[in-house]
Amino acid sequence: MRRALELARMGTALASPNPGVGAVVLDAAGSVVGEGFHTYAGVKHAEVLALEAAGEKARRGTLYLNLEPCCHEGRTGPCVDVVLQAGIKRAVVAMRDPNPLVCGKSLAKLRGAGVDVVEGILEQDARKLNEAFAKYIRTKLPLVTLKAGMTLDGKIAPPPGERAYPSALGAGGASGGWITSVEARAHVQELRHGSDAILVGVGTIVADDPLLTDRTGLQRRRPLLRVILDSRLRLPLESRVVKTAHQDVIVFCSFAEEKKKGQLEERGIRVVQVPLGSAGDGRPDLGKVLEHLGAMEITSLIIEGGALVNGAALVAGVVDKVLLYYAPKVLAGTGSVPFAGGRGFRRMSEAAYVRNISLHRFGEDFAVEGYIRDPYSDF
């Protein structure tokens, strides 16, 4: 099963909007005779590829899968039928498919045909791997991760005017260097690689002029979609995001001045107008933004905004999980920029509550990962 999960991870950035799936086939004697993993472009599912590699050696053998095989017609036929036709005697599955069209039906069909089915092996690892798919397939909304890098006292940048390039992970320049370590920043690139989209507010573009790209160098099926909240279309035409746009930048605004809209669209940028949110902060409705991204088959979104965007996302209740990187530094002072700004929550009972916390070390830094909303809550 660990090998099946390892194979599934090979589909990172290649399988979305489908889940990451790996398969291992053992013959009757217990030797590995076939492996496969799913990529969207490859169409065929992991178990089909593994069974094709095994051929006749799969008969009376064992199939290991990190996700229940499908039983419905989609881009391919039902994989559970292929498993039965291959003569598999035993199927070991880490977890059921969160897709309501499948969820347990394939396992029931296998058992009904006399296949010995074992469930739940390394289930937590399997659930973590496909948490974005689980959220998306049941809600048609992306899994939203709020990511930020900060000092121990929760500051993401020195006071405005005293830094060269403020950013969600701190920045280099005259202010004295990055907040977080090289190791933490490398992990952020891995996080970007595993996501479909990244979101910032236009203030971050104006202040930092970031590229917002996946710099791992690893293969992707789709470019990382760069999403910008810009209620009044202030996005500078000379910004690096605009200059490097190749149908991979989308701007959500609430007031679209036709000339500026046309200039952006001429440069390959999609401009989508959505109503203002109910918070009264003059920002586009984040719920509508997520609905639009879901319709584009975006299954996972990282928010790397500044303080105001971070605060707005938390108050709007759209954040599923947080990944907060802490460096062993203290900025102090009232002028330094906090992790989350805006009106915030008025009562402690209303505060966003982070559950299922895990800690990670990156050099001298550490990160807190946790969930505000369980992507499997209705599973």
Q: How far apart are the first and last CA of the chain?
A: 22
Q: Rounded to whole angstroms, how far apart are CA atoms 340 and 290?
A: 20
Residue 296, classified by CB atoms within 10 Å of its CB into exposed (0-12), middle (13-18) or buried (19+), is: middle
Strand bridging mode 365-371 / 321-327: antiparallel
Sheet with 62-65, side-by-side order of all strands: 32-37, 22-26, 62-65, 90-93, 116-119
Q: Rounded to whole angstroms, how far apart are CA atoms 226 and 248?
A: 6
Cβ atoms 314, 346 nearer than 8 A: no
What does the block give as tokens for 86? 């291959």
Residue 36: C-alpha distances to residues 28, 126, 218, 310 (Å) = 19, 16, 19, 39
Catalytic-residue membership of 52: no
Cβ atoms 376, 205 nearer than 8 A: no
Which is the catalytic residue, given 35, 47, 68, 304? 47
> In terms of Cα–Cα distance, which of 167, 163, 166 is closest to 175?
163
Q: Rounded to whole angstroms, how far apart are CA atoms 174 and 163?
A: 6
Residues 6+ apart with CB under 8 A from 224: 192, 193, 195, 196, 197, 198, 212, 213, 214, 248
Cβ atoms 167, 210 nearer than 8 A: yes
> In terms of Cα–Cα distance, which of 303, 310, 299, 302 is closest to 342?
310
Q: Rounded to whole angstroms, how far apart are CA atoms 133 and 181?
A: 30
Cβ atoms 136, 143 nearer than 8 A: yes
What is the set of active-site residues?
A: 47
